[in-house]
Structure 1
Amino acid sequence: MVSFIRLVAAAAAFASSAYAAHTITFHNACGWAVGQTVSNYPGGGGFNGPFQLSIPAGGKQSITVSDGWNGRICDKPPNSGCENDCWGGIAFGKASCSMTEFTMNGHNNLNYYNISNIQGYSVALMIQPVGGGCENLICQGVNCPCKQAYRPGDISGTCGGTGALDQAVRACGNRDYNVIFCP
């Protein structure tokens, strides 16, 4: 009987850990290969997969992150200012560096996501929650609307003082997300 209880407990733990993951799938619609760097923020759940990704034109690749993951994925073009931890860009006198940012299972157990060009715009991006019911974010140029992405150099998070704080951030209960390059 004890063995049966252990087996049931192990199966339940495995099932909950299998469900306690989020898949982010990168789709490259650009006419060139795109590179990304995946970076964990301190204090969040970890990502243990490959931190440097390269996706050929027309290709796709997925990563799995845990519940509680808090991190960013930055564009890593050949002349990007993004360093290995996604720091760099115009704020540090380097080339531009577009990125997506995620907090999984944040406040009210929702997932928070945004497109950030604070370190500079380097590629068009779209975040699309899988399964619908939540808002897509899309930024196709350096001057995309503040409700879609943080603007280059704007560390205030208020669209240069003209809007609400963090208006580019969305919250969603969906587990999985697509990030599309050159949508």
Structure 2
Amino acid sequence: MFKPVVVTGLFSAACFVAADHTFNFHNQCGYTINPKIVNVNCGYSPRCKTPGSGGVPNPAISYNGPQPQSLGPNQSTTLHINRQWNGRIFHQSGSCGAKGESCTLGEFNLDTGNQFTAQAFDISNIQGFTIGLKIAITGGDSVTCTNVNCGCKNAYPPGDTSGCGTDLPVRGGSPGDKTWTVTFCP
């Protein structure tokens, strides 16, 4: 998925621009939502203590782009997010912390998406359930949690810091740039 760019003049060269992941945000709630994208690279990941693991902070793989606009009922928007981003997506209901604390979270570890390791994502209610959420990836798995009791197969339950014992809620996607769909109130 590279786009060639040709430079003309005294010399010629072909350059390649890398693409990023496409994220579609859909609001199926009966009220306006405020989706937020936050970086958590080394904010919560246990890989942060392992140099070379992809968990070391790097501004080049942080998301520094625009935040999604508030979405009214049945509205959608699309943004592009860096290909090696680690972070959270959530609805800022007014009771969430700056990184989504106390709220339902979509969690993404996209720095794992190389030729050998799948990209990982999940829904977490560990710090609190606030909204139903569905995450889907083109050509891959999806996960949905519509209520506080959706079970470990679909999301980490409130207060469970054990990771459901086996990280059962975590889904994987194949390497490469993907299109992700995050649906609020699925």
The normalised TM-score by structure 2 is 0.77
- Distance in 1, matches of 2:31 and 2:150, equals 22
1:29 to 1:2, Cα distance in 2 relative to 1, 3 A? same
Q: State the partner residue of 1:99.
A: 105
Q: State the partner residue of 1:182.
A: 185
Deviation at 1:2, TM superposition (A): 7.0
**Structure 2 counterpart of 1:74, from 59, 67, 90:** 90
- Distance in 1, matches of 2:40 and 2:153, equals 23
**Structure 1 counterpart of 2:121, from 113, 127, 138:** 113
1:170 to 1:51, Cα distance in 2 relative to 1, 3 A? same
- Distance in 2, matches of 1:139 and 1:51, equals 23
1:116-127 pair list within 5 angstroms: 116-127=124-135
1:121-160 pair list within 5 angstroms: 121-130=129-138, 132=139, 134-158=140-164
Asked if 2 retains the 8 angstrom alpha-carbon contact of 1:46 and 1:69, the reply is yes
Deviation at 1:52, TM superposition (A): 6.0
Q: Extract unaligned runs of 5+ from structure 1.
A: 90-96
Asked if 1 retains the 8 angstrom alpha-carbon contact of 2:40 and 2:99, the reply is no
Q: Structure 2 counterpart of 1:122, which letter?
A: T
Q: State the partner residue of 1:92.
A: none
Pairs aligned (count)? 157
Per the alignment, in what secondary structure is the counterpart of residue 70 of structure 2? strand
Is it true that 1:57 corresponds to 2:73 in the alignment?
Answer: yes
**Off by >6 Å, runs of 4+ in structure 1:** none
Q: Report percent identity of matched pairs.
A: 33
Deviation at 1:149, TM superposition (A): 0.4
Asked if 1 retains the 8 angstrom alpha-carbon contact of 2:38 and 2:89, the reply is yes
The normalised TM-score by structure 1 is 0.78
